[in-house]
Amino acid sequence: MKFDRRALLGGLAAGAFAAPVLARAAGQAMRIAPDRELMVPVQGGSIYVRVNGDLKGPNPPLVYMHGGPGSGHSGLLPLTALADDRAVILYDQLDSGRSDAPQDPANWQVSRFVDELDHIRDALGITRWHVGGGSWGGTLALEYGARRRPEMASLVIQSPLVSTRRWIADANLLRSQLPAGWRATLDACDGAAPPAASQCDAATAAFYKLHVARGNRSPEIAAYRAGLPRNAGRKIYQEMWGKAEFVSTGTLKDYDGEPLLAKLDGPRTLFVCGEYDEARPATVAAFAHRVRGATFREIKGSAHSILTDAPDSYLTLLRTWLARHDRA
């Protein structure tokens, strides 16, 4: 299939970057322009990091990891509305967005992506921070949380891939609930003699509109996204995951992070997903229940891309959660 999930999640749109410094994210002000930018050396190259807000302020900053693999940070810009309370750190993983793109598969290891966080923390001189991530970024948040770093004030795991086996089972369950025509087309697209790519793309888009992103990116984010380099994001997604959500053929096909759940600091861990999320609420809640003292919240009206579908609800939840855990 040619349908590009990475583009959908990243908010791909035409046009040059001509956004104002401040924009509205469903009622809360986000900051399109960064207050600070830097390139941070990591294994394999250097990654782009942006900061909004005061890193020396009274509250620990929030660092948040993007999905994909390969999507880039643009879809996370609504989080910059939190910069009136604390610094917000967004970045592009290696081979994504504005980061270096060596396109070396040797770099595409889960542990190496997790290690990027420590390089960012060291570069910014941070002694305590909140760590979060969504989708593939939720996987990295899970992995980082299991390391039990002493500088972590709290952990936010949003719509995560925790187990590929469980993810595929959920995707297939949701796929089975599509209208019969879409189901038949998707089945044929996976067969030996698939129909035209346009038909496969339309059927895949129908699933994504229900369970990935129900809303549309703001014009400001779309314009910002259009100004970013393409780099190797699509290749990473295909190499690490596959062509679409329903089957994993890449290096993550046997990923199982469930043993890491027992290593999390439960009272400081928040699991979140959307009401219509492809990371199904029943599954994410079950993962949370396995972490003693963890919290689970479902964002009503949202699919997988919560910051697109229900930014105000998510920002309100995060403000409350982060404030509760600001003090050691």
Cβ pair 237, 69 in contact under 8 A: yes
Active site residues: 135, 277, 304
For residue 233, the model assigns a pLDDT of 81
The percent of the chain in helix, strand and coil, each rounded to the nearest 5, is 40, 20, 40
Domain with residues 5-324, CATH architecture: 3-Layer(aba) Sandwich (3.40)
pLDDT, average across residues 85-89: 98
- According to DSSP, the residues that pair with 274 across neighbouring strands are 299
Residue 262 reports pLDDT greater than 80: yes
Torsion, Cα 136 141 142 146, to 10 degrees, reads 150
Q: What is the pLDDT of residue 190?
A: 84
pLDDT-derived band at 3 (thresholds 50, 70, 90) equals: very low
3-class state of residue 50 by DSSP: strand
Instruction: Give residue 232's pLDDT band: very low, low, confident or very high (50, 70, 90).
Output: confident
Q: Is the pLDDT of residue 20 over 60?
A: no
Taking the C-alpha atoms of residue 183 and residue 204, their distance in angstroms, rounded to an integer, is 10
Nearest to 306 by CA among 269, 281, 289: 281
pLDDT of 192? 87
The answer to whether residue 15 scores a pLDDT higher than 70 is no
Interatomic CA distance for residues 168 and 164, integer angstroms: 6
Strands (E) across 67-183 are located at: 88-91, 129-134, 152-158
- In angstroms, the Cα distances linking 310 to 100, 196, 247 are 31, 34, 28
Residue 17 has what pLDDT? Answer: 26
The answer to whether residue 291 scores a pLDDT higher than 50 is: yes
pLDDT one-digit tens code per residue, 156-208:
999 999 999 999 999 999 999 999 999 999 999 888 889 999 999 999 999 99
Q: Parallel, antiparallel, or unpaired: how do β-strands 45-52 and 88-91 relate?
A: antiparallel
pLDDT at 10: 43
Q: What is the pLDDT of residue 243?
A: 83
Q: Return the minimum-mean-pLDDT range out of 102-111, 227-236, 246-255, 298-307.
A: 227-236
Q: What is the pLDDT of residue 27?
A: 52
